[in-house]
């Protein structure tokens, strides 16, 4: 290990220690109670826990299956049909995961709820709560994601394959079986693992649309055990199950992590050297229209219902300021942790050291938010700090949850910048704070801004931490929307959701422009 590597690793040690301490403080009470109580008394295998585990697996499995079954024809349609507005529609498909979950859920309720647009149109009230509502929301979130990932695979087919298919006069069926399906098939296990992980760890969707105890997942069960029953043993057992389940699928989904960094072409389809029949063109066009309507109508509902909503200004103003302050501090903390880790990773003496440094950030993905929150809640409650420490716990949790994404965005740029400027800086004697001000910050301002904006948006829309640690004196915009929906003030919730969506979209726009310029 070189002297520069040792110094950089030493500089990163406070960030590493902070991450490990946060994880240990979260896991220690969970593990202690689990060993002392749950694992010994057989509490882990009672009927309630098994029912929650079964429902978690059921809804995640069905959501994954439906999302993939629908995404395959949608991706094929986008790949085969070149049309005006393709770029806009693919950008629209990025919005469900970019917007805060509670905002999107409100749009779904506005369209599919008992008094929603569709119920009014058909004259029959629909039930959007329970398993059906959870599946609907999860498919809404994950169909666009799966479509974009599959379309990326189709965009990766070599042009020579299409020219050869044209020379051999392949039919549409032959093109699918011999070219497209083999290209997509290899990525399906990774995409399925990623979607299953997102659905298994889903909190806002199940909490809002679950509709009762029969539709409870591990994450929501942890929240109920701590906030309503104050049963740390029950929460610990559920947290251990969630930890094992999410850890397994993080490892599986990690095999496909690189696909998230490369999106399909937004401009035009590949030259496929084929002419679609009228029936095929009509069928693919219909698929695109239906998929666009499925994704676009709830997003439109958010805008229209919010524009005419009665705004509760005092509560809305207070919640907005709280959300912005928490998001600002969380993004700053996440960036402060990621910066030394990115530098240490760039100067790592071996790939093994680099992997270990990156794993430190991934710990917050392997250990789900609800598990960390359980341990922190128990520790803070034992210390008598549950209320006074709540704002700091929310900020810390949001920062840790954003850390893998911030580091993933920042680390490649830092590595490239160091490769370009290290020798020059060494020859000129520029180091330390002077190098940071003169070289690193000007060169890396766009990746830094991109990372900060990403952390800001993730924190702004978080519902997990604030639901567990929040109180009447600590209310964010997502918490306010959830409370308004819970008291059936859907119109007021629509106004709050529009404000949250506008702030998120403003940051996303800056993020997108920064990424395009970087």
Assign 262 a pLDDT band (cuts: 50, 70, 90): very low
Buried b vs exposed e over 471-500: b needs ≥16 C-beta within 10 Å? eeebbbbbbbbbbbbeeebbebbbbbbbbb
Question: Do residues 512 and 499 make contact, with C-beta atoms less than 8 angstroms apart?
Answer: no
Distance in angstroms (rounded) separating the CA atoms of residues 198 and 175: 32
- Per-residue pLDDT of 48-83, as tens digits, reads 888 999 999 999 999 999 999 999 999 999 988 888
Residue bearing the bigger pLDDT, 383 or 10? 383
* Integer CA distances (angstroms), 302 to 53, 316, 492, in order: 33, 17, 12
* Integer CA distances (angstroms), 394 to 203, 360, 390, in order: 16, 20, 6
Question: Do residues 138 and 238 make contact, with C-beta atoms less than 8 angstroms apart?
Answer: no
- Per-residue pLDDT of 304-327, as tens digits, reads 988 888 888 888 999 999 999 999
- Per-residue pLDDT of 179-237, as tens digits, reads 888 888 888 888 898 899 889 988 999 999 987 788 899 989 988 888 788 787 788 88
Question: Do residues 209 and 128 make contact, with C-beta atoms less than 8 angstroms apart?
Answer: yes
**Domains of the chain listed by start with CATH number:** 1-30+309-518 (1.10.3720.10), 46-308 (1.10.3720.10)
Name the nearest CA neighbour of 346 among 402, 401, 421: 421
- Per-residue pLDDT of 453-487, as tens digits, reads 888 988 998 988 898 888 888 999 999 999 998 88
Q: Is the pLDDT of residue 264 over 60?
A: no
Neighbour tally for 262: CB within 10 Å: 10
Distance in angstroms (rounded) separating the CA atoms of residues 274 and 246: 43
Distance in angstroms (rounded) separating the CA atoms of residues 188 and 472: 45
Assign 514 a pLDDT band (cuts: 50, 70, 90): low
Assign 432 a pLDDT band (cuts: 50, 70, 90): low
Distance in angstroms (rounded) separating the CA atoms of residues 491 and 494: 5
Q: Is the pLDDT of residue 445 over 90?
A: no
Name the nearest CA neighbour of 117 among 246, 298, 283, 252: 298
Question: Do residues 108 and 128 make contact, with C-beta atoms less than 8 angstroms apart?
Answer: yes
Q: Give residue 179's pLDDT.
A: 86
With a pLDDT cut of 70, the percent of the chain lying above it is 83
- Per-residue pLDDT of 98-120, as tens digits, reads 788 999 999 999 999 988 899 99
Q: Is the pLDDT of residue 293 over 70?
A: yes
- Radius of gyration from C-alpha coordinates of the chain: 24
Beta bridge partners of 471: 474
- Its pTM stands at 0.83
Neighbour tally for 5: CB within 10 Å: 16
Name the nearest CA neighbour of 23 among 404, 407, 462: 404
Please say whether the dihedral angle defined by the alpha carbons of residues 141, 308, 116 and 127, taken in this order, is positive or negative. positive
Overall average pLDDT of the 158-168 stretch: 81
Q: Give residue 37's pLDDT.
A: 63
- Per-residue pLDDT of 18-39, as tens digits, reads 888 888 888 888 778 766 765 5
Assign 433 a pLDDT band (cuts: 50, 70, 90): low
Q: Give residue 407's pLDDT.
A: 83
Q: Is the pLDDT of residue 356 over 80?
A: no
User: What separation, in Å, do the N-terminal and C-terminal C-alpha atoms of the chain show?
Assistant: 31
Q: Is the pLDDT of residue 274 over 90?
A: no
Q: Give residue 201's pLDDT.
A: 86
Assign 5 a pLDDT band (cuts: 50, 70, 90): low
Q: Give residue 272's pLDDT.
A: 62
Mean pLDDT taken over the chain: 82
Question: Do residues 354 and 348 make contact, with C-beta atoms less than 8 angstroms apart?
Answer: yes
Assign 352 a pLDDT band (cuts: 50, 70, 90): low
Distance in angstroms (rounded) separating the CA atoms of residues 428 and 293: 59
Distance in angstroms (rounded) separating the CA atoms of residues 252 and 250: 5
Q: Give residue 517's pLDDT.
A: 55
With a pLDDT cut of 90, the percent of the chain lying above it is 28
Q: Give residue 47's pLDDT.
A: 85
Q: Give residue 265's pLDDT.
A: 47
Q: Give residue 394's pLDDT.
A: 93
Q: Give residue 9's pLDDT.
A: 65
* Integer CA distances (angstroms), 236 to 28, 122, 164, 389, 443, in order: 10, 45, 58, 21, 46
């Amino acid at each position: 290990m070189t002297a520069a590597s040792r110094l950089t690793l030493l500089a990163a040690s406070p960030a590493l220690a902070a991450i490990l301490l946060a994880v240990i403080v979260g896991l220690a009470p969970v593990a202690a109670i689990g060993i002392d109580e749950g694992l010994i008394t057989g509490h882990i295998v009672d009927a309630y826990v098994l029912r929650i585990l079964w429902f978690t697996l059921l809804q995640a499995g069905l959501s994954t299956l439906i999302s993939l079954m629908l995404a395959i024809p949608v991706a094929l349609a986008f790949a085969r049909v070149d049309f005006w507005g393709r770029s806009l529609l693919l950008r629209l498909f990025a919005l469900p995961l970019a917007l805060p979950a509670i905002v999107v859920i409100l749009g779904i309720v506005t369209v599919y709820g008992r008094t929603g647009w569709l119920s009014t149109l058909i004259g029959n009230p629909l039930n959007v709560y329970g398993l059906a509502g959870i599946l609907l929301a999860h498919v809404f979130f994950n169909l666009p994601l799966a479509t974009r990932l599959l379309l990326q695979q189709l965009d990766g087919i070599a042009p020579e394959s299409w020219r050869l298919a044209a020379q051999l006069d392949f039919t549409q069926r032959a093109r699918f079986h011999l070219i497209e399906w083999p290209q997509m098939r290899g990525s399906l296990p990774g995409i399925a693992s990623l979607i299953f992980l997102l659905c298994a760890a889903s909190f806002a969707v199940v909490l809002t649309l679950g509709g009762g105890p029969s539709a409870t997942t591990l994450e929501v069960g942890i929240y109920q055990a701590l906030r309503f029953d104050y049963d740390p043993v029950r929460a610990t057992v559920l947290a251990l199950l969630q930890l094992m389940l999410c850890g397994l699928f993080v490892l599986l989904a990690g095999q496909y992590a690189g696909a998230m960094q490369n999106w399909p072409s937004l401009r035009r389809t590949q030259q496929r050297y084929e002419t679609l029949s009228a029936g095929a063109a009509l069928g693919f066009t219909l698929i695109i229209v239906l998929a666009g309507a499925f994704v676009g109508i709830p997003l439109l509902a958010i805008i229209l219902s919010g524009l005419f909503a009665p705004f509760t200004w005092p509560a809305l103003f207070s919640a907005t300021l709280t959300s912005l302050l928490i998001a600002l501090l969380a993004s700053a903390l996440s960036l402060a942790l990621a910066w030394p880790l990115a530098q240490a990773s760039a100067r790592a003496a071996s790939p093994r050291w680099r992997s270990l440094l990156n794993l430190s950030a991934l710990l917050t993905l392997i250990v789900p938010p609800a598990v960390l929150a359980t341990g922190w809640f128990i520790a803070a409650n034992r210390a008598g700090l549950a209320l006074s420490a709540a704002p700091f716990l929310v900020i810390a949790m949001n920062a840790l949850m954003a850390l893998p994404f911030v580091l993933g965005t920042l680390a490649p740029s830092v590595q490239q910048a160091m490769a370009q400027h290290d020798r020059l800086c060494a020859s000129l004697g520029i180091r330390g704070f002077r190098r940071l001000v003169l070289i690193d910050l000007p060169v890396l301002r766009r990746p830094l801004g991109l990372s900060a904006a990403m952390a800001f948006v993730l924190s702004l829309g978080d519902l997990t931490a604030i639901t567990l640690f929040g109180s009447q004196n600590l209310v964010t915009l997502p918490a306010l929307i959830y409370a308004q929906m819970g008291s059936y003030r859907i119109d007021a919730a629509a106004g709050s959701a529009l404000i949250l969506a506008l702030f998120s979209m403003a940051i996303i726009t800056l993020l997108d422009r920064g990424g395009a310029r970087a």
